[in-house]
Structure 1
Amino acid sequence: MSGLTISHLYHRYGVKEVLADVGLDLHAGETLALVGPSGCGKSTLLHIVAGLLTPSEIQMRSTFRSIACVFQEPRLMPWKTGLDNIALGLQAQRLPKAARRKQAAELGHRMGLSMEDLLKYPHELSGGMQSRVSLARALVTRPDLLLLDEPFSALDVGLKLELYGLLAEQIQQHSTAVLMITHDLMEAVRLADRILMMVADPGRIVREFKLHTPAKERTSTWIHQTTDELMQLDEVRIGFGLMEGELPKIELHDHAPRHGGCSV
């Protein structure tokens, strides 16, 4: 089974230590969410996993063969149409032009984009449509590992829910592993199998939560209840600056919400 294991990850910008002794593991078909306040090193960690940044120290083993990233900003090529932006990864795989445009169009349609939309350039698309193109561009190559850097944070609630569903469908069909970062705890509760709580100064993991209820069985009531219970924990409240206090480097305790939704 494909997987990713990281241990003893440290990273510094000059003399400032931004990540300290971070470790995590991720398996095929699993969604792991990193949550925490701004400045706790979530994006830095994701960029290290993506190979975009070389850490100060790390022990890492990955058997994932292909990785795709979706960022908060769509980062589309402005000189290419939506269709050709989606097909970029397929072009890198040297798929013939007709075949890659066909695959890109099929996935674009599943993302709710018409052919008229797909033939437009990024500046002609709404922000929501650009987000659909960006997600389709990452998914069209069927990556083993999908890295999500808060791609839904600027979207309205309705569009978020729609893209959540499209993402879940692709993950289920292709057993894609997902490493996502978010400051939105409810989003993590909705999508993830496990949640790692990070805090800053320096960035480190202080708690892991396992969500046992399958994502497709999570009702709005369950999501709100679980989020509310997690928000009552000291690590979460201190981490998000809702109460004063100090946290140790690593702290793992047993925890099970009253309705049995998750544990540590």
Structure 2
Amino acid sequence: MSMLNIERLTHRYGLTEVLSGIDLRLPAGQTLALVGPSGCGKSTLLHLVAGLLAPSEGRIDNPYRNVACMFQQARLMPWKNAIDNIALGLKARGMAASARRARAAALARTLGLGADDLRKFPQELSGGMQSRVALGRALAIEPDLLLLDEPFSALDVGLKLSLYRHLRGEIARRGTTVLMITHDLMEAVRLADRIVMMAADPGRVVHELPLDQVHALRDDAWVYQTTGRLMQAREVRLGFGLDPAPGGDSAVDAPAAGCAI
């Protein structure tokens, strides 16, 4: 089985150590969410996995060759319309124009983009539409490894839930491996199979939270209940820089229903 393997990873910007001694394993088909406060090195870790940075120390063994990224900003090409932005990776692979546009259009329809939307340029699209196009561009190449850097953080709740459903459908259909960054614990509970809690100064792993509930059964009530229980756990609160909850339990002692911690 393919597995992303990170061992003793340390990274510095100049003299500042932003990541220290990171060890992570991500098996094929699993979704892992990195959560933690701003400044704990989550995005730096994602950029290292993507190959955009070289680690100062340690190693990253990434067996996946078909990798796609989606960032907090849509980062669309302003001189291309929506359909050509979605098809950008397919063009880079040499797919014929008619074939790549047909695939992009089919994917766009599932994301709620109409024919008129596909003719528009990024500056003519709302923020939510731009996010749909960015997700379509990432999914169009059918990645084996999908890297998500807080791409849903600026969206309203309704659009988030819509994109969550589509993303989980694609993950289930293709067995995509996902490494996602979020500061939103509820988002991680909704989407991930495992949550890794990071802390800052320097960025490091402080706790891991496996979620056993199957995704089809993660209704809103379960998501809210599980998130609330995790937020009372000492390890999670310390990871977010919060004081321990009065009388709060360790995450090990207070598992949520369907959540093996």
Q: Same fold (TM over 0.5)?
A: yes
**TM-score bin, normalised by smaller chain:** over 0.9
Aligned length in residues? 257
Q: Indicate the residue corresponding to 1:124 in structure 2.
A: 124
RMSD over aligned CA atoms reads 1.5
Q: Indicate the residue corresponding to 2:168 in structure 1.
A: 168
Amino acid at match of 1:222: W
Give the Å deviation of 1:254. Answer: 3.7
Between the aligned partners of 2:71 and 2:256, the Cα distance in structure 1 is 35
1:3 aligned onto 2:7: no
* Conservation of the 8 A alpha-carbon contact between 2:211 and 2:259: yes
Alignment of 1:237-248 (within 5 A): 237-243=237-243
Give the Å deviation of 1:60. Answer: 1.9
* Conservation of the 8 A alpha-carbon contact between 2:230 and 2:256: no
* Conservation of the 8 A alpha-carbon contact between 1:256 and 1:263: no
1:257 aligned onto 2:255: yes
Q: 4+ residue runs of structure 1 moved beyond 2 angstroms?
A: 252-256
Q: Indicate the residue corresponding to 1:141 in structure 2.
A: 141
1:207 aligns to what SS in structure 2?
A: strand
Give the Å deviation of 1:131. Answer: 0.1
Between the aligned partners of 2:244 and 2:152, the Cα distance in structure 1 is 29
Between the aligned partners of 2:13 and 2:224, the Cα distance in structure 1 is 37
Q: Indicate the residue corresponding to 1:207 in structure 2.
A: 207
Between the aligned partners of 1:52 and 1:61, the Cα distance in structure 2 is 14
Of the structure 1 ranges 58-67 and 147-156, higher mean CA displacement relative to structure 2 is found in 58-67
Amino acid at match of 1:167: L
Amino acid at match of 2:162: E
Give the Å deviation of 1:258. Answer: 4.8
2:158 aligns to what SS in structure 1?
A: helix
Between the aligned partners of 2:78 and 2:193, the Cα distance in structure 1 is 35
Between the aligned partners of 2:72 and 2:251, the Cα distance in structure 1 is 32
Give the Å deviation of 1:253. Answer: 7.4
Between the aligned partners of 1:244 and 1:235, the Cα distance in structure 2 is 8
Of the structure 1 ranges 229-238 and 188-197, higher mean CA displacement relative to structure 2 is found in 229-238
1:263 aligns to what SS in structure 2?
A: coil
Q: Indicate the residue corresponding to 1:40 in structure 2.
A: 40
Q: Indicate the residue corresponding to 2:227 in structure 1.
A: 227
Q: Indicate the residue corresponding to 1:103 in structure 2.
A: 103
* Conservation of the 8 A alpha-carbon contact between 1:198 and 1:207: yes
1:69 aligns to what SS in structure 2?
A: strand
Structure 2 residue runs without a partner (length 5+)? none
Q: Indicate the residue corresponding to 1:74 in structure 2.
A: 74
Between the aligned partners of 1:142 and 1:45, the Cα distance in structure 2 is 23
Between the aligned partners of 1:227 and 1:254, the Cα distance in structure 2 is 15
Between the aligned partners of 1:202 and 1:242, the Cα distance in structure 2 is 17
Between the aligned partners of 1:123 and 1:156, the Cα distance in structure 2 is 19
TM-score, normalized by length of structure 1? 0.94
Between the aligned partners of 1:258 and 1:218, the Cα distance in structure 2 is 12
Alignment of 1:186-201 (within 5 A): 186-201=186-201
Q: Indicate the residue corresponding to 1:248 in structure 2.
A: none
Give the Å deviation of 1:210. Answer: 0.5
1:135 aligns to what SS in structure 2?
A: helix
Structure 1 residue runs without a partner (length 5+)? 246-251
Amino acid at match of 1:215: H
2:180 aligns to what SS in structure 1?
A: strand
User: Could you tell me the percent identity over the aligned residues?
Assistant: 61
Between the aligned partners of 1:128 and 1:205, the Cα distance in structure 2 is 32
Q: Indicate the residue corresponding to 2:62 in structure 1.
A: 62
Between the aligned partners of 2:99 and 2:155, the Cα distance in structure 1 is 31
2:151 aligns to what SS in structure 1?
A: coil
Q: Indicate the residue corresponding to 1:30 in structure 2.
A: 30
